[in-house]
Amino acid sequence: MGRYLLRFVVVIGIVSLGFHFKRKWYQSRDMDEQAKVLASYALDRLAAQASRSAIDKHTFPEPWISMVQLRDDVLRDEFSAARRAKLWVKVQKKVEQNTNVRPMAREGRHGDVSKVWEWIGALDFDDPAARSARRKSGRYSLGTPLRAADSPAFEDSPLAHMRQADTSSPAFRSRDALSMDETPHIKTEDRPVC
């Protein structure tokens, strides 16, 4: 009887260890998925901050966000300190691997120095928050601005002899505009003169 009891305890121990490792694996996988979502949210926040700062320097003077401030915003629904710390390490790693983000130390408005992230990628000026910031700043467009080349004073200037580059040539079209089988062949006489 003692011999069977020992085997039974060993089997129960092995099965419970298997369930434990399976649960840890699922938790780790779920944490990785959550870190991806939160890193995407953080990148969106950084891009939006850069766009807002480019549009309205008065309301948004800094194009960057403090990592501590962003961490508190991104992880506002996570209350476990241990899980929060593990999750932030994963989010931080994913954000800093993005080449559009520049980590640096900056001094804030109140004199505190902290590590910040700045979005250095392309700016999205069609962001609804950026548009609302533009409207709040009182900047409105009343139509297309008058180009210097269209003004009568331009004809008398020394720059009047320079013509604008022809952007309709294949050299100026984006890769997306070119079809896969169309290759731009530019001859030397087709190149625009600046």
Q: Where are the domains of the chain?
A: 2-142, 144-194
Please report, in tens digits, the pLDDT of each residue of the chain (194 residues total): 677 898 899 999 999 999 999 999 999 999 999 999 999 999 999 999 999 999 988 888 889 999 999 999 999 998 999 999 999 999 999 999 999 999 999 987 788 889 999 999 888 776 555 455 444 544 444 444 444 444 444 454 444 444 444 445 454 444 444 444 444 444 444 445 54
Which of 159, 116, 137 lies closest to 53, judged by CA? Answer: 137
